[in-house]
Amino acid sequence: MTGIRTIFWKEMADHFGSRRFLVIASIIVLASLSSAYGAIGSQELHSFGREYLFLSLLSTSGGTLPSFLFFVSFLTPLIGIIMGFDAINGEKQRGTLSLLVSQPIYRDSIINGKFLAALAVSALMIAGILALIAGVSISKLGIVPNTEEIVRTFVFYFATLLYISFWLSMAILFSVLFDKTSTSALASVALWIFLVFFVYMVAGIIADHVAPVTQNSTVEDIMKNEGIKIMLMRASPAYLLQEISMAILNPGVRILTPLTAEKLQGLIPTPLSVSQSLMVVWPQLVILCALSIVCFGISYVAFMRKEIRS
């Protein structure tokens, strides 16, 4: 634990003093506050009811600005990528990695300390942004988040950290596998572009090929097409976070799959409790957590077996 603490505090200081981290953090903070101010003037803000006004502030877009949820799913992967793409090969290029492993510090303390420090910095930044948005809602709307809204916000906060941890562990993995920081950065950005943007198009193309929809298609054919598309899109952490946020930030969401008239029969249009909303999205939370663990586990094993020369 002594070695992990040493690496942890050293990495924390490096991240807070890094210009690239400060730049991306400033962009995310400005974008989040702009989306919150834009949502205040939106007509859709009161769609969830006055008791869930703070939650609607997080998921409502205002004017030409997307919602805060969009910025979270779009920009927060860059935080993990920026802090992880040169975590190992950057030390190697600077000649400090061999110096680290020569110290009385276990090798696993290096990668564990780097991962925990980056995750802690991300947690502090996201918590600060949510606190700023809460301040905006109190000052502009005069609404203090109630207990249920606070609990739901904490669940959303936890899901966001899982989302960032996946991208962080993925960037660290590329940092272990590639010797050059430019290569690991390009690989991380390429995977980010594919999983955040192109996976939706690829899922649509495959679904249309497997279960094509025509003018003569039945409801079962359309549902099959949508089911295949959703199954493929769930390979993307961005889509998993979108589903989690949809159910957590909107208490009225009961099911995340396409609905037919038969499924709608018997449903009572009342808001769900926090525990019931968690039951709706627990598979997505488990998958997102598993993706982060598997990705970091692979990078951990690869680093422990990596040959390090002075």
pLDDT in tens, the chain (310 residues): 667 888 888 888 888 888 888 888 888 888 887 877 777 766 555 555 556 777 777 877 766 677 788 888 888 898 889 988 888 888 888 877 777 777 777 888 888 989 999 999 999 989 988 888 888 777 777 777 788 888 999 999 999 999 999 999 999 999 999 888 889 999 999 999 999 888 888 888 888 888 887 777 777 777 888 888 888 888 889 999 988 988 888 887 777 766 555 555 555 567 778 888 888 889 899 999 999 999 999 999 998 887 776 5
By the 10 Å C-beta count (0-12 exposed, 13-18 middle, 19+ buried), 243 is classed as buried
Looking at residue 29, its pLDDT comes to 83
Q: Where are the alpha helices (DSSP H) in 178-273?
A: 181-193, 199-210, 219-233, 237-249, 261-264
Looking at residue 310, its pLDDT comes to 55
Place of tokens 């990596």: 306
- b/e code 204-222 from CB counts within 10 Å (16+ = b): eeebeeebeeeeeeeeeee
Torsion of CA 7, 78, 239, 46, to 10 degrees: 110
One-letter amino acid at 152 equals R
Which residues are CB-contacts of 73 (< 8 A; sequence separation ≥ 6)?
163, 196, 238, 241, 242, 245
pLDDT in tens, 156-205: 999 999 999 999 999 999 999 988 888 999 999 999 999 988 888 888 88
